[in-house]
Amino acid sequence: MISPTKKMLKFWGLVILAAISASCNNPMAKNAVVEPMAYYNQVGYVADLPKLLLVTEGVALVLIQDHEGNEVFSAVPEPPLFWEQSGDAVRKVDFSAITKPGFYQVLLPNENESFEIHISERPFEELSKAVLRSFYYNRSGMAIEPQFGGQWARPAGHPDTIVYVHSSAADEYRPEGTIIASPFGWYDAGDYNKYIVNSGISTYTMFRALVDFKEFFGLLDANIPESGTGVPDLLSETMYNYRWMLSMQDPHDGGVYHKLTNKNFDGMVMPHEATNDRFVVSKTTAAALNFAAVAAQASRILSEYEIHFPGLSEESLEKAEKAWEWAVKNPDIPYVQPKDIQTGAYGDSHFDDEFFWAASELYLATGKHEYLDVLIDKYSKPMVPTWGQVSTLGFLSLLDEYDNLAESLKETGLKEDFMALVDQLVSVSQTAPYGVSIQEFAWGSNSQAANEGMLKLVAYRLTGNEAYFHSALSDLDYILGRNATGYCFVTGFGHKKVMNIHHRPSEADGIEEPVPGFLAGGPNVDVFTDCPKNVERSPFPAKSFVDLVCSYSTNEIAINWNAPLVYLVGGIEARHFKE
């Protein structure tokens, strides 16, 4: 969530110059931006899959040499394609013909520029580990130990064993000021608060990745404290947040608190230095339904891990149904920010999508017709999921069990509508200048690209159609550098690195490199007032990004942005995975 920074106005000239000099493309002097000549995946290309880089209009020829200096590829770039979202034209260079793993030098002779690319059978294994381990770095209530966190080790913060019931959440059983415990969980974003609504889509997506790529994630060692216990690291990490979610349900009535938070955002300090009182705030319909959906999903997944989590599968389903019952009795309670609370709202006033998603998970867990009836009543065509639009998550779960669904549910067009959405996304990506389907740049635009890639991988699993997989791979290429900014948007990776994310531990720890594995939010034009006026932002949505801590609108991190990246990277790596 957005938040102010105490360092925002301190030595901005030096900060901006430092951020500029950190760019691998050395582009800026004062505020004049020099565009790179090429945009490409800076982490790696898969040896036997399509490979695309983009060059600007000024480039007439592209040469690629192997490590011995032998020319292995040359091409005249395709005709330029203009993109209104970026305000520029780029030319595609398809070098899929190169399939031998190795490092190659790309030469742009007429521009006297060169850069290195990497081709590998599995270029994203370390990336998979890093994007998963980023959640470990954002754990609340746990010290990050050196053997797991390296130089980003830190003391524990926010144990949340003493949390006060806020007046907005009080009732006769838990009056205002009642102390409860609500430990564990992930810090939601660059701040130190925890939100059920955003945890809903994030936790679901992590569970979903485990279900869809069980063999790959079953053996992926992310070097977290639970590694080697016999439980997949992805599941162990997700359980850390899921256990917090369970603690946010009021056992008396089944309602779920909307968030656990300070009254105001903390400054740019380390977690253990942020010691303000913590509160659970409001019970809402959205929180109850997000909780019900994830708990019902967990009940099915955890039934396979009963030996590791005894009784939790059954308990999860009981809690899910109790939250559902509360939501049915309270079907229209939006979150209203109390006057003394200034942290993120995650406000939502339309709940048909939450009812559909929760009913999907509960129907699959129980087979009860009361949930089926809601699915028929609340059905609408799917969209790319966000925290505020979650009905498509229900589609993903239902399509897993499509052959066993009631005919009345199949007759809604469930499968046909989902495939139509993905087909439309793929069609756009095949002709788009930058080779991706993203067309709108809202806050957290990079998560839009990751979620679109996730949907395409689901379609690939359903059909085996390679076009879906290739388009998902292109979405990952975009995130890793083949985008209009030229940045690799995952911290710790790439040549033009994101260095100054809006993330309190990364800003306050005194370490130059940010905590690795986080996906920066990405370009958008939603807010231009988060940084001082002398910081330039492009007016074009696809380019409107600055790598400065002040830019919470483009450079913050969030769990719901990293979760689909875990799915996307893991799903692509899983294709070539061998034990």
**Residue 109 and residue 354: Cα distance in Å, rounded?**
54
**Residue 46 and residue 572: Cα distance in Å, rounded?**
9
* DSSP code of residue 56: E
Nearest to 200 by CA among 317, 321, 288: 288
CB under 8 Å to 154, separation ≥6 — which residues? 143, 144, 270, 271, 272, 505, 509
Residue 407 tokens read as 């005919």
**Residue 205 and residue 213: Cα distance in Å, rounded?**
12
Which residue among 158, 166, 470, 502 is the active-site one?
Answer: 502
Residue 425 φ/ψ, nearest 5 degrees: -60, -45
Contact 505, 137 (CB under 8 A): yes
Radius of gyration of the chain measured on its C-alpha atoms: 24
**Residue 54 and residue 449: Cα distance in Å, rounded?**
18
- Collapse the DSSP code of 576 into the 3-class scheme (helix H, G, I; strand E, B; otherwise coil) and give the result: coil
**Residue 543 and residue 536: Cα distance in Å, rounded?**
11
Which residue among 233, 348, 556, 573 is the active-site one?
Answer: 556
Which residue among 88, 160, 191, 361 is the active-site one?
Answer: 191
Alpha helices in 172-249 (DSSP H): 196-212, 214-219, 233-247
**Residue 322 and residue 141: Cα distance in Å, rounded?**
27
Q: How many CB atoms lie within 10 A of CB 501?
A: 26
Residue 386 φ/ψ, nearest 5 degrees: -140, 175
In the chain, % helix, strand, coil (3-state, to 5) comes to 40, 15, 45
Contact 523, 485 (CB under 8 A): yes
Output the 3-class SS for 77-106. Answer: CCCCEEECCCCEEEEEEECCCCCCCEEEEE
Active site residue 71: no
Active site residue 502: yes
Which residue among 237, 354, 547, 573 is the active-site one?
Answer: 547
Q: How many CB atoms lie within 10 A of CB 325?
A: 15
Instruction: Just list the catalytic residues.
Output: 191, 502, 547, 556
